[in-house]
Chain A
Amino acid sequence: EPEVTQTPSHQVTQMGQEVILRCVPISNHLYFYWYRQILGQKVEFLVSFYNNEISEKSEIFDDQFSVERPDGSNFTLKIRSTKLEDSAMYFCASSVGGGAYGYTFGSGTRLTVV
């Protein structure tokens, strides 16, 4: 069964550093997403991406966040200057039809900011 692949599985970074989280969505999917889950809290939507541009973003997704599809297969989330409160599990997801047929999630990247 096709999978969404995320790397790395765990990243530790110092406060103020930039991090890039990487994702390879399912190849025939057209819509890509980032979600995060702070420990003990709900999974929260960050951003959706379609046709090489952001289609929707939450209030969490401020100027320190950016997304990019640098080539035909990768989808990245960059956090410019990490804060302690950015520590969370970050999930990439993709869908074939904007969610009409459900979403497929990756296994996540655990980001720890120290």
Chain B
Amino acid sequence: KQEVTQIPAALSVPEGENLVLNCSFTDSAIYNLQWFRQDPGKGLTSLLLIQSSQREQTSGRLNASLDKSSGRSTLYIAASQPGDSATYLCAVHAAGNKLTFGGGTRVLVKP
């Protein structure tokens, strides 16, 4: 059974610092991995999708890497801003037509 873990559970940084969020999964037989942002009490906004054949994906200040063989993905957010404060979730699409989510990393960027 696929298990997805995100470390750390919470992170607080001063504005301008780079953020590094980690995601690990137990079964490397995945189709893709998706990073989401969740604001308190709100829905899930897709940030990046990495296919299993890709090593990384970039969008603006966001960069996500994938090492399928070791079961890891990392989301980098450059030059953090207070507006980046949110919970970041990674989710793996493996066997079956469904996502398995990690518990999230709650990020606070202090002005």
Contact between chains at B91 and A101 (CB < 8 Å): no
Please tell me if B111 contacts chain A, counting CB pairs below 8 Å.
Answer: no
Interface size on B, residues (CB 8 A): 23
Provide the bound-state CA to CA distance between A56 and B94, in Å: 13
Please tell me if B86 contacts chain A, counting CB pairs below 8 Å.
Answer: no
Instruction: Say whether chain B's binding surface is mostly helix, strand, loop, or mixed.
Output: strand
User: Which residues of B lie under 8 Å from residue A41 when comparing CB positions?
Assistant: 103
Provide the bound-state CA to CA distance between A80 and B48, in Å: 36
Please tell me if B34 contacts chain A, counting CB pairs below 8 Å.
Answer: yes
Instruction: Give the one of A35, A103, A106, A108 with max B CB within 10 A.
Output: A103
Provide the bound-state CA to CA distance between A55 and B96, in Å: 9
With A43-B44, A108-B42, A108-B43 already in contact, the answer to whether A56 and B91 are too (CB < 8 A) is no
With A99-B93, A100-B31 already in contact, the answer to whether A106 and B101 are too (CB < 8 A) is no
Contact between chains at B97 and A110 (CB < 8 Å): no
Chain A residue, CB-CB nearest to B100: A45
Contact between chains at B49 and A102 (CB < 8 Å): yes
Contact between chains at A42 and B49 (CB < 8 Å): no
Please tell me if B102 contacts chain A, counting CB pairs below 8 Å.
Answer: yes
Provide the bound-state CA to CA distance between A105 and B42, in Å: 11
Provide the bound-state CA to CA distance between A98 and B96, in Å: 9
Q: For chain B residues 68-111, which have a beta carbon within 8 Å of chain A? A: 89, 91, 93, 96-104
Please tell me if B65 contacts chain A, counting CB pairs below 8 Å.
Answer: no
Please tell me if B46 contacts chain A, counting CB pairs below 8 Å.
Answer: yes
Contact between chains at A43 and B32 (CB < 8 Å): no
With A42-B103, A100-B32 already in contact, the answer to whether A105 and B97 are too (CB < 8 A) is no
New A-B contacts (13) at CB < 8 Å, excluding given A43-B91, A43-B99, A48-B97: A6-B43, A31-B97, A41-B103, A42-B101, A42-B102, A42-B103, A42-B104, A43-B44, A43-B89, A56-B97, A100-B32, A102-B32, A103-B99
Can you give 13 A-B contacts (C-beta < 8 A)?
A35-B99, A42-B101, A42-B104, A43-B91, A43-B101, A44-B101, A56-B98, A99-B97, A100-B32, A102-B46, A103-B46, A103-B93, A105-B36
